[in-house]
Amino acid sequence: MTFFGFTGLSDAFVDHLNFDAVVAFADGEMSLSAYQRAAAHLARCEQCAAEVAEQTSAREALRSAFVPRMPGSLFEQLRSIPVALPAVSSPNGRDSTSDPTGGWSERRPRFGSR
């Protein structure tokens, strides 16, 4: 909420839609009750109505923007990346995937024991 440029004391206590609510309203991602509350607020708040109009305009500009196509060679290179890495044995001979510490707990110094 900004208090700059208010005309009276009561204007300082007007709640405005936060950024997330403005975006959700512009994108149509609010529940019905939240939408109704926001719409009622927008009917009487020019500042929030302007923010929603700006967000709606930005959303429409982004949706109509040119989307570059991914080259087929890049797609094939990405598909060739293995989904899972092969298991690597640790220096102590254990499978590193079965020991989440990678054997560190066995190699760490023990305090108090000499």
pLDDT for the residue 2: 36
| Domain locations along the chain | 9-64
Amino acid identity of residue 103, one-letter, is G
pLDDT (average), residues 83-105: 64
User: What does the pLDDT average to over 77-91?
Assistant: 77
95 has which bridge partners?
89
How much is the pLDDT for 99?
60
Q: Which of 40, 2, 31 is nearest to 18 (CA)?
A: 2
State residue 14's pLDDT score: 64
What is the model's pLDDT at position 6? 41
Per-residue pLDDT at 13: 56
pLDDT at 71: 86
Rg of the chain taking only CA atoms, in angstroms? 28
The mean pLDDT of the chain is: 78
Give the CA distances from residue 111 to residues 106, 107, 108, 114, in Å, rounded to whole numbers and listed in that order.
13, 12, 9, 8
